Amino acid sequence: MAIKAISPLDGRYRDQAGELGDFVSEWALIKYRVHVEVEWLIAMSQIDWIKDVRSFTEQEIQFLRKLAADFDEAASMEVKEIEATTKHDVKAVEYYIKRHIKDTSLADVAEFVHFCCTSEDINNLAYGLMLQGAIGQIWLPLAEKLVSAVADFADQTRNVPMLAHTHGQPASPTTVGKELAVFVRRWQRQLDQVRNLEYLGKFNGAVGNFNAHVSAYPDAPWEDIAKSFVESLGLTYNPLTTQIESHDYLAEAFMAISRFNSIAIDFDRDIWSYISFGYFKQHTVAGEVGSSTMPHKVNPINFENSEANLGMSNAVLEHLALKLPISRMQRDLTDSSALRNIGVGIAHSVISIQAALRGLKQLSVNEDVLARDLDQNWEVLGEAIQTVMRKNGHDNPYEKLKDLTRGTKVDAEVMRTFIESLDLPSDDKARLLKMTPASYTGIASKLLRHIGK
């Protein structure tokens, strides 16, 4: 851990977020730029229309690809040293590649490095690949792990009755599993959208018109060439842009993660509340301290940590989603600085998911407290009783149950005495008399079929 790191992502949370460095760090940005530049050089050697770039040997292609595949921290420092002179980060990458091929058989094609490219042709493709990797290889598997863990917990507790709370007040009972399943279902929809995200790329020059391309090779099918190249990188081609790719897909990606995060905040707060009610127990871990002065405490710190990091993630991602699609005319540089923070937004979400997973591992259901709470709230059966009375033609059943139950605590004897006094068909009366708060859960347990469990 870098104890003097300004950001906790590079300090306190480094171990939890460090893997993202392979995709969204400064090093990663330079590496992916090198990757795009060498792949474009190789592509030109295979395009008949660009006749001034000869075909490369297999060994030459392997050499170029190793510049990206073997790109390490020392290589990135070399690029940064060049940038110290150029004061231009993409030009520094171009010069880096030229430096490494000047004494090889590829020296004759050195001037075709970065040929017909504006910096944004390289940058937008690099960022597309970075985001695709960060989400697909780091964030998405972790999010799926959280959803799966909550789904398993829901399945284990599908039949465990629990007093529901609406407006913070006792309400018709539910089951623990069904309430957890609600979050699973919500997350599943968001993950479907994340899996189906498009990662767009453009490759059309300084203002999106292939101006330089046509001046060099006027008869070449440049749109087809650009589309083929972008798709060869695993991205979706955007055919109509200014100097920059318009960033709408970035906004879509960030808002999809933000929606997942918002559901997770809701989850964290509900779990926190259930812990405070005593519905869930937290297992103690040897050596851990809950409070510096109150030795008995086992605080729900993992869910609190998760909630805090989710808020940080959303603050960054939502800003990026709103800012990035806006650019003055053909190009301004406000997106350049903003894009360097994509890792910040994703990293805080990654940290939050890990915290929630740690919290889940320490949870178990306290069935004694759940049962006690249900037994202390027989008034919740008022909904069932007035509904059966209404079905059987009683006058003002809601009002009668309101007078009996609203603002007061009633017990089993009071409720059963009231039921006995009603003129109801014998089967309806018998069903109501048999009912308890713990059994009044509707089809809650069956609803878990909607999460595939």
Find the CATH number of the domain harbouring 406.
1.10.40.30
Alpha carbons 65 and 79: distance in angstroms, whole number? 17
Same domain? For 100 and 248 the reply is no
Structure confidence by residue, pLDDT tens digits, 198-219: 999 999 999 999 999 999 999 9
Residues 221 and 101 in one domain: no
Round to whole Å and give the CA distance between 100 and 87.
20
Residue 309 in any domain: the answer is: yes
Decide if 35 is catalytic: no
**Mean pLDDT across 431-440:** 95
- Strand 161-166 versus strand 169-175 pairing type: antiparallel
From 345, 366, 387, the end of a domain falls on: 366
Counted domains in the chain? 3
In a domain, 308, yes or no: yes
pLDDT band, residue 279 (cuts 50/70/90): very high
Is residue 272 in some structural domain?
yes
- 268 with 359, same domain? yes
Q: How many residues are listed for the chain in this entry?
A: 453
In a shared domain, residues 103 and 200: no
- Which among 291, 364, 439, 450 is annotated as catalytic? 291
Distance between CA 33 and CA 125 in Å, rounded? 8
Q: Which amino acid is at 166?
A: T
Residue 242 has pLDDT above 70, yes or no: yes
Q: 222 and 327, same structural domain?
A: yes
| 208 touches 202 (CB < 8 A) | yes
Domain ranges, residue 338: 120-146+176-366
Q: Which residue has the higher pLDDT, 405 or 44?
A: 44
Whether residue 394 lies in the annotated active site: no
How far is the C-alpha of 35 from the C-alpha of 162, rounded, in Å?
55
Q: What is the pLDDT of residues 245-254, one digit of tens each?
A: 999 999 999 9
161 within some domain:
no
Handedness of CA 292, 298, 299, 300 (dihedral sign): positive
pLDDT tens digits along 79-120:
999 999 999 999 999 999 999 999 999 999 999 999 999 999
